[in-house]
Structure 1
Amino acid sequence: MKLYPLFADLHGLPVLVVGGGGVARRKAEALLGAGAQVTVGAPRLDAELAAWAGAGTIRWQRGEFVPGWLDGMWLVIAATDERGLNAAVAAAASERRLFANVVDDAAHSRFHVPAVVDRSPLVVAVSTAGAAPALARRVRETLERVLDHGLGALVALAQRQRARIVRRHENLADRRAFYDWLHDGPVLPLLRAARGQEAEQVLLAALQGDGPPPRKGSVTLVGAGPGHPGLLTLQALRALNEADVVLHDQLVGDAILAMVRRDAERIDVGKRCGGRQVAQEQIHRLMLAHAREGRRVVRLKGGDPFVFGRGGEEMAFLRRHGVACAVVPGVTAAVACAAFAGIPLTQRGQAQSVCLLTAHGKAGSDMPDVQALGRPGQTLAIYMGVERADALTARLLAHGRATDTPVAIVENGSLPQQRVIAGVLAELPRLVREHAVGSPALLIVGEVAACATSQAWFGELVDARAGQPVAEPMAELA
């Protein structure tokens, strides 16, 4: 280990930043965040630093650097664009036995400023000893994805109750087990849900008992998005990594399922239009049974759980049976498919509203029948509509939509086999049959759907009006 890692308490201490540009500003901002009394020394300051100086947030030492600036300082950072000046600052600091950092110059630095993952009061620092700061940044980005944003609140709670925890668990092994429970048990999920008082009460109750209470089961309804693994949210990824059991729809692809914890039990419950189905009541029973066994259950759904995903029904059922339930939203198909097809769902002068519709109601035969469907300037995003293209087209025309209203069919949206078929409303049933469109597919109806012919950037585009497939010009960006 070349460097000795430490965290410095600079609160109320004078520190010096030499330089008046953007780099110096970023260093000063980080030092201010740590509570330091910051002096910035430079002949000139950029606009933001000047504003800080005018407001008294920092002290400005105007002029060219002289070693006397270092008197009384605890720390110094050289952040100018002149290597010779930076070296002189470092040399003067060494003579005074002050730690100095020279930006992008490891040889002249006595300390290095790491890449930081901030979950205050939990802070993780990453350093390459100045050898490759860009790689430290990449490691930090990985940690940002992995470390739960609730950890800061958890550490703060443990800090407040530290004296009680130490008194209750004098034995180090018992104390370590308690902290494991604190992380793995019900406290962290409560903090994630912004229920801090309840989390503290659970902790205090555990301290009053003979040991950590047995883990209660829970269910998290997780939206997997449209299928592209890059659209999975950080919170969804954490839920998959913590799950004991995953009940997943058939629409959830292998790329998403590969992110599930390796030893978790996976149960395919179907839920694909036209595919194998598991009755909703059976899904309810499975969630309840596994949760009552103390397991962490993830109900993994394509898209978003609360957009045509029956997530509301599942949450209500779990609540009635006393099972803790949380929801992790996903990118719903209307948003994702439109984006991957280059179609803005709203656009000035073309569409001022969006209506999300499903062609499959609870009874299996419901069809939307409202006057708003015929209103121009509104985009319709229709889920599960391919099988009912004839009836949908007739209904939309009857409600006043013009025969030449632009439409786009987005098949397998966001997946490598995505296909966008652009045409007009009167031709929709023929397009579905002629191109053998299969599920999953989203129908977009409205003026903005015409944007696909010029803005589609992912997968294959078929412009039905021209009758020719268009190459995938920008698919490599995904």
Structure 2
Amino acid sequence: MEPLAKLPLFWALEGKRVIVSGGSDAAAWKAELLAACGAEVHVYAGELSDTFETLILRGAEHPQGGFIHHCQAWDETIFAGAAIAIADCEEDNEAKAFFDAACIAGVPVNVIDNPAFCQFQFGSIVNRSPVIVSISTDGAAPILAQAIRRRIETLLPRTLKDWAGLAQSLRDRVNERLAPGPLRRAFWERFVDRAFSSSNGPEEGVGGQLLKEAERLREARARSKGRVTLVGAGPGDAELLTLKAVRALHAADVILFDDLVSSEILELARREAKRMLVGKRGGRTSCRQEDINDMMVKLAKAGKRVVRLKSGDPMIFGRAGEELAHLDRQNIPVDVIPGITAASAMASRLGISLTHRDHAQSVRFITGHSRHAGLPVDIDWAAVADPRTTTIFYMGGRTAPLIADRLVEEGLSPETPAIVISDVSRATERDWSGTLATIPDGIAQIGYDNPVLIAVGSALAARQTAARDTNDFDSDRHLVMGGR
């Protein structure tokens, strides 16, 4: 769990006594909010603004909410039995006195627009009650919170209120039919898809149809088993995930994730999903592939939805072929959600094209090491040295000098442009550019403790030329130029 500035809570106030001190418009807005939750709002103020007077005359729309105006200033006796206390104070000494009195009485307190005397804060609200979305920036940027609210308002249909009401009425009956776990979650996922795909609220009789669907799911469950989804997590930036990948993470019971998967991506997973690190890193203690295969089978046979979360794209140097074959042999349903591979992320981040009609008509992705940590011996190095091809070596940090020497031996010019990049798309990203001959210098500067890509080819020259002409280096990427 990433650090939270504040704990978001949704507080039941129906029928509770709450206190509002002050007769300003700001106090009126807070009083209206509290009454909308069904609270009995006791207002302490000698004078009320026109807005506040109108609000009290109109009364609360919530059947249990209401306003009681006490035409007097607050004192220490008013806090007994209160659920929360709000005040609008002009002076800090008054704010402190109200805050201290509430704290002594054990009542949570908020002094409007005075964070030093607030035990909790109000967020910017999107109201589709019973669906409520609250946005907080911890007081740092209220305008940002309002902008986020406006965007969410456009995404959530007004009919969501009616669908949420239907869900509330069906919940107990659905729970009677479907046990907690994948089956119940599958029902509600279909419910949500229906709610968001409809331009109208639920039609009459749809509740009965949904309960029949729950019965069908229960019957189908007895004949089914779990499944595995291989998901590409991309190079590290959570914003590069596909929508399908996010949906898979939301639906997972268990997530088997690689060592290179970022914490920001894991934050997007369903909170209840069990997370298991099964990472494999060169030169480090690793989980055996055979154990990972067996784990996926065991979990799927137990009826779990398993997400095998791999960095980059599962089908590019991710050993997905071995996992697919093992799952097929065990008759485990499996599907694959692609991810953005590191080479594509590198091209995007550095503003280069891997193909260019004047320089490179093809692109190759090659593993930079064999299983014995040396250069791969089962590839055609003469073909790799084709000057009309851009070649990207994955996992080639420790063999970088050997790669450069071998390509030169096969006839590729030592002046061929080259790039070394580590931790592509992450905050720790670093890159170097130079030539094939100076790759050893580049890897010495970048290092190989973090995932490294090596790109070689004349198509990279346009980017290097632009960098030399402008000398405009992106400090966020810690650009290092070499090989001059």
Task: Give the alignment's TM-score, normalised by structure 1.
Answer: 0.56
Aligned to 2:273: 264
Check whether the contact 1:247–1:298 (CA below 8 A) recurs between aligned residues: yes
Q: Runs of 4+ in structure 1 displaced over 6 angstroms? A: 133-137, 185-188, 204-210
How much has 1:183 moved relative to structure 2? 6.8
Deviation at 1:273, TM superposition (A): 2.8
Among 382, 392, 398, the alignment partner of 2:393 is: 382
Find the counterpart in structure 2 of residue 340 from structure 1: 349
Q: Secondary structure at the match of 1:267?
A: strand
- One of 397, 400, 424 as aligned partner of 1:413: 424
Q: 1:353 to 1:285 in 2, by over 3 A?
A: same
Identity of aligned residues (%): 38
Q: Name which of structure 1's ranges 285-294 and 442-451 shifts more when overlaid on structure 2.
A: 442-451
Letter in 2 for 1:462: V
Q: What is the CA distance between 1:398 and its match in structure 2?
A: 1.6
Asked if the contact 1:422/1:449 (under 8 Å) is kept, the reply is no
Alignment of 1:453-464 (within 5 A): 453=464, 454=466, 459-464=477-482
d(CA) in 1 for partners of 2:445, 2:215: 68
Question: Partners of 1:324 and 1:401 in 2: how far apart?
Answer: 46
Q: How does 1:39-438 map to 2 (within 5 A)?
A: 138-139=151-152, 173=173, 177=177, 181=183, 184=186, 211-214=219-222, 216-362=225-371, 364-365=373-374, 366-367=376-377, 368-438=379-449
The alpha-carbon deviation at position 278 of structure 1 amounts to 0.7
Deviation at 1:274, TM superposition (A): 2.8
Q: Cα deviation per residue 1:372-392 (whole Å; 9 max; x = unaligned)?
A: 212112100110011101221
Matches of 1:135 and 1:418, distance apart in 2: 29
Deviation at 1:139, TM superposition (A): 2.4
Q: Give how far 1:288 is off.
A: 0.9
CA RMSD of aligned residues (A): 3.8
- Whether the aligned pair in 1 keeps the contact of 2:393 and 2:455 (CA below 8 Å) is yes
**CA deviation after TM superposition for structure 1 residue 360, in Å:** 2.8
User: Once the two structures are superposed, what CA deviation does each residue of 1:303-323 show, in whole Å capped at 9, x if it has no partner?
Assistant: 000000011211111111011
Q: Give the Cα–Cα distance (whole angstroms) in 1 for the partners of residues 305 and 319 of structure 2.
A: 20
Residue 466 (structure 2) pairs with residue 450 (structure 1):
no
Structure 1 residue 465 displacement after superposition: 3.6
Preserved CA contact (<8 Å) 2:252 2:273: yes
Contact preservation (8 Å) 1:220, 1:328: yes
Asked if structure 2 preserves the Cα contact closer than 8 Å seen for 1:341 and 1:410, the reply is no
Q: Is the 8 A contact 2:227 2:306 kept in 1?
A: yes
Q: Is the 8 A contact 2:314 2:339 kept in 1?
A: yes
Q: Secondary structure of 1:287's partner?
A: helix
Q: Write out per-residue CA displacement over residues 149-182 of structure 1, whole angstroms, 9 at most, x where no aligned residue.
A: xxxxxxxxxxxxxxxxxxxxxxx93699479959
Distance 2:154 2:432 in 1: 37
* TM norm structure 2: 0.55
Query: Distance between the aligned counterparts of 1:181 and 1:265, measured in 2?
Result: 17
Cα drift, residue 138 of structure 1? 2.4
Residue deviations 1:184-238 (CA, integer Å, cap 9, x gap): 17997xx9xxxxxxxxxxxx99978983424621111000000011101111111
Distance 2:304 2:156 in 1: 26
Give the unaligned 5+ runs of structure 2.
1-145, 161-171, 194-211, 468-472
Contact between 1:181 and 1:212, CA under 8 Å: does it hold in 2? no
Change (3 A) 1:388 1:364: closer
d(CA) in 2 for partners of 1:286 and 1:436?
A: 34
Which runs of 5 or more structure 1 residues have no equivalent in the other structure?
1-132, 148-171, 192-203, 467-478
Q: Tell me the amino acid that sits aligned with residue 258 of structure 1.
A: E
Cα 1:209–1:348, aligned 2, differ >3 Å: closer, same or farther? Answer: closer
Q: Distance in 1 between matches of 2:331 and 2:413?
A: 51
